[in-house]
Structure 1
Amino acid sequence: MIVLAAGYGATAGWLLPRAAYRLSVEPGEPWRDRCPRGHRVRGWLGPARCRVPAEAVVQGRGQGRGRGPAGRPPRSAAPHAYGRRAVPLAVLVGALCALLAAAVGVRPELAAYVGLAPVAVLLSLVDRAVHRLPDVLTLPLAAAVAAGLGTAALLPRAGGDWRLALLGGGALAGAYLLLHLINPAGMGFGDVKLALSLGVALGWYGWGVWAAGAFLGLLYGALYGLALLLRAPDKRNQGYAFGPFMAAGALSGVLLGGFGA
């Protein structure tokens, strides 16, 4: 199961760079459909690399004669990479899925957790880039996690409780909603929506795991904010992406719950 989960995670991670690039836009702007050099980006999954058609390269070589070494296409016509590299993401997501498989073991909820991991990484990448968690990912993710764990609860060897999972999702989303209402500039509404799916994942193993994952997410974010403050005191009011720390806290909680179960 560990090997299978690692293979799935590596494949999913390898497919993330293009989606992360296309989704990393400010609110109100359309999803990116062109690379930084103006070539059309086709599809949503795969490495962030433009493979210029052969006729475009040949045309570029003809246009480039007299302006550079013979036979070399101009910069705009050469195949090129942009955005995140696929190999590091494949290694990261593969390792995360392997960890989840080692912790959860051969239990039906493993499928839900392994399915959650690549999307959580994708959301973290987008949040780091533009401080935004798109609804197109957060809302379907919450429904998918709830449905996946609900299916797992019907199967033998399930290690958690679906009712607690749903309560955990509502409780964590409610807690983050309260933080958002108190300080909208410090806690975005996208974090509230992400908390819904992470709370479901944590609540499956009970309130102890839920509390640990919620606390660790806040702790990781607070430690990062403190490090930023110590390094650059003049930027104390500068915001930073909190979604990656929420995901890291939830991962820590699920690992603890999986090993405990």
Structure 2
Amino acid sequence: MTVFLLVVGTTDLSGTVPLACGIERTSIWIATVWFIVIAGAIAVIDMQTRKIPDRIVYPSLVGIGLLYFSVSLSEAACAQEASGTGEPLRVLTAFAGLTTLGGVYLMIAVVSHGSLGLGDVKYAALIGLTLGWHGWNGIVLGLLLPFLFGGAAAAVLLVGGRIGRREAVAFGPWMSLGAFTALSLQLFA
């Protein structure tokens, strides 16, 4: 909330350009690091407990969402006041990522009769929010890579006799790996 107020309420001494015009990179960096840290935590927790805790996902959705929203407000103000080239509508792509990944995972959860849990659905929404900020390529990769990684790992475990055909495998770690890979490709491409 402090970031949001800073973005809206501060200007330089002449009163023309918001001082927040420089905080976009910092806010995006904070959101990215926040996501990477909780993605790692969720991977470990889901492997151990087969649960993705709401107490991690919900605050992260709100916090990262507010950071992206504040950046969009700042970019809009900077673009208007200083003829900047920011992308103030990027928050809409982030929201589209949230609804796309969350919606697809929800459909899979319903069709699979509980093989994919609602924790995975909520985590997919967070992944979609984060990857959506960086563009549609990240959303598509964030949708496909977890199934590719998780399927390959399950096949290896099945062939190796470590799991049976009906045995459940935690999907959160593969969601985290897919999201991390997609985010890395978006950031360093």
Give the structure-1-normalised TM-score: 0.55
Tell me the residue number matched to 2:20. Answer: none
Tell me the residue number matched to 1:251. Answer: 180
CA contact (8 A) 1:108 1:158 kept: no
State the 1:230 CA deviation.
0.7
Q: Of the two, which has the highest radius of gyration?
A: 1
CA contact (8 A) 2:98 2:128 kept: yes
Q: Quick one: higher RCO (CA 8 Å, sep 6+), 1 or 2?
A: 2
Match of 1:161 among 85, 90, 104: 90
Question: How big is each residue's C-alpha offset from its partner over 1:126-185, in whole Å with a ceiling of 9 and x where there is no partner?
Answer: 100010011111122212221122222234586781110011101100000011001134
Gaps of 5+ in 1: 1-105
The reply on whether 1:127 has 2:56 as its aligned counterpart is: no
State the 1:214 CA deviation.
1.6
Tell me the residue number matched to 1:177. Answer: 106
Structure-1 separation of matches of 2:109 and 2:139: 20
Structure-2 separation of matches of 1:209 and 1:158: 19
Structure-2 separation of matches of 1:234 and 1:256: 32
Gaps of 5+ in 2: 1-24, 76-84
The reply on whether 1:151 has 2:70 as its aligned counterpart is: yes
Structure 2 letter corresponding to 1:124: A
Structure 2 letter corresponding to 1:144: G
- Relative to its length, the structure with more helix (as a share) is 2
1:1-261 equivalences under 5 Å are: 108-155=27-74, 161-232=90-161, 235-260=164-189
State, as a whole percentage, how many aligned pairs show the same letter: 27
CA contact (8 A) 1:107 1:158 kept: no
Q: SS where residue 176 of structure 1 aligns?
A: helix
Structure-2 separation of matches of 1:204 and 1:224: 29
Structure 2 letter corresponding to 1:109: I
Structure-1 separation of matches of 2:72 and 2:170: 33
Change (3 A) 1:133 1:234: closer
Structure 2 letter corresponding to 1:137: I
Aligned residue pairs, count: 155
Structure 2 letter corresponding to 1:248: L
Structure-1 separation of matches of 2:186 and 2:72: 16
Q: SS where residue 235 of structure 1 aligns?
A: coil
Tell me the residue number matched to 1:87. Answer: none
Structure-2 separation of matches of 1:257 and 1:177: 25
Structure 2 letter corresponding to 1:117: I
